[in-house]
Structure formats: structure tokens, C-alpha cells
Amino acid sequence: MNRIQSTGHNIAANGIRHHYLHYAGPGPALVLVPGITSPAITWGFVAERLAEVFNVYVFDARGRGLSSSGPELDYSLDAMADDVVAILDALKLDNAIILGHSMGARIAIRAAAKDASRMGRLVLVDPPVSGPGRRAYPSKLPWYVDSIRLAEKGMDAEAMRAFCPTWTEEQRALRAEWLHTCYEPAIVTAFEGFHTDDIHQDLPKLDMPVSLMIAGRGGVIEAADEAEITTLNPAIRSARVPNAGHMIPWDDFDGFFDALDTLLGTSFGKK
């Protein structure tokens, strides 16, 4: 199958500039919201495959990639959730699937609780379930900050191996190229928000199909966490990717799409 090429765009929404990559596909709109230090381009290998079925948009969250950044911006979960709502309005996307990974999944939950009028369903990929009075997120802040500071000075794929030892050279090189665009105060604010923002209060408010993808080796969502989530919203369907860590498609690309087949009724695994 021919590789689906992306086009880059900028759009004004919620008072700032948002950069996104569009992978034009044949089906319904799917908006991919990446994690804490993942500029849109680093999800390109996933978006290309998704675009076989969906019309895919991948955004740089504020303070990352080519979207607006700097000390004057608000990097809270609520601000980023408002961004998603405003972007959907600006692009006039209706009944959109919102697929969020990690921080992006938390953004999707909060955005849908605020205003789901343009959303059709959510796919939550291994969201941190930390929060007030809860188990801490297993990754540590220095892992992010140290790698960003090295990237700001200039680093290559080999230097990135210390932070992402299981990734391919191509994946490490792309992260090394783009990580310097992650504004450190934005990352610190988001990481602290993993422990101060309560997304569990939002889960009962989600009145749409919601799917949960869990990394079997990630340590982010344990069995008790999954049980609590489904208690708060019994309609949530889940699928586990047994051989993947938190960065699921990086660890098990086929497993990621097999899980999507289970959750969305697609047939990526049969192609």
C-alpha cells in the first residue's frame, strides 16, 4: 500500500497558534492527542497506518513542536482540554474520534467532560491514573527534564539510547531531533498535573463510547485501576497489549493495532 503523506498546517484556536499534521484518509475524523513530550511528528508512523481507515489529525500540544510556546502561556490540563474543544470547532470536525495517549488521554477525558458536542468517541491509550491521594505516576520528572536539556544542546540517536534503550535508531533519532521543542516549564506543569488533577471525577460524565487501551508492561494502569475506571463508567471497554510498555506502538506496533481492532471494530490486523 502506498505510504500516506502528511501535510502540515497552523490554525488559530483558543487564543494561540496550533500546529498539526493531517494524514488525509477515507474515513471519519480521528484526532490524535500525543503525550507529554511527543511532538506530532513522532507519531507519524502510527498516523500513516491509522489513515488507511481514518482521516487523521495529529496536534502539537501547546509548548511542544511547532505550536505556540513560551512563558506567557497556561500549560494546565484545563487549558489543553480547552485547546481540543476549540480546535474541533475551528476545523468544524463533527463526530470525531479522539485518540489520546498518556497525557493526551487525560486531555481527552477533561475535554469531553467540558464539551463533547463535536466528539463521537474516545480512545484512551494508557492514561496516567495518578492524582490527589493516589499512587504516583511511575516515570520520574528528571527523566524528562534531563533529556530535554541535552536535546537543547544537541544530541543524536546514540545519546538518546540512554533514555529510550528499546527504541529503534530511527525512533531515537526523531526524538532527539524534536525533543528540544518541548518547553521545559510546560513539561513540568503537565507532570505535576498528573498528581494534582483528578481525572477520575470526569469519567462518570463521559456520555459516549469510551475505550481504554492498557500497556501490559507499562506499570501505569494496574488491575485495580482498571476495575475502578469501569466502576466509575461501566460502559468503558478495555483491551490490554501484553508485550508493550507505556509507549505502546513503539514497543508492539502490531499489538497496538490489534487492540484497536478489538476496541473499534476495525481490521488493521487483517491487512
Q: Which residues are catalytic?
A: 102, 222, 246
Distance CA 35, CA 258 (A): 21
Please check whether residue 30 is in contact with residue 97, taking contact to mean a CB–CB distance below 8 angstroms: yes
C-alpha cell at 258: 490489534
Q: What is the DSSP string of 80-110?
A: HHHHHHHHHHHHT--SEEEEEETHHHHHHHH
Residue ranges in the chain assigned as alpha helix (H): 44-50, 77-91, 103-114, 141-153, 157-160, 169-178, 184-196, 223-232, 248-251, 253-264
Residue ranges in 38-167 assigned as alpha helix (H): 44-50, 77-91, 103-114, 141-153, 157-160
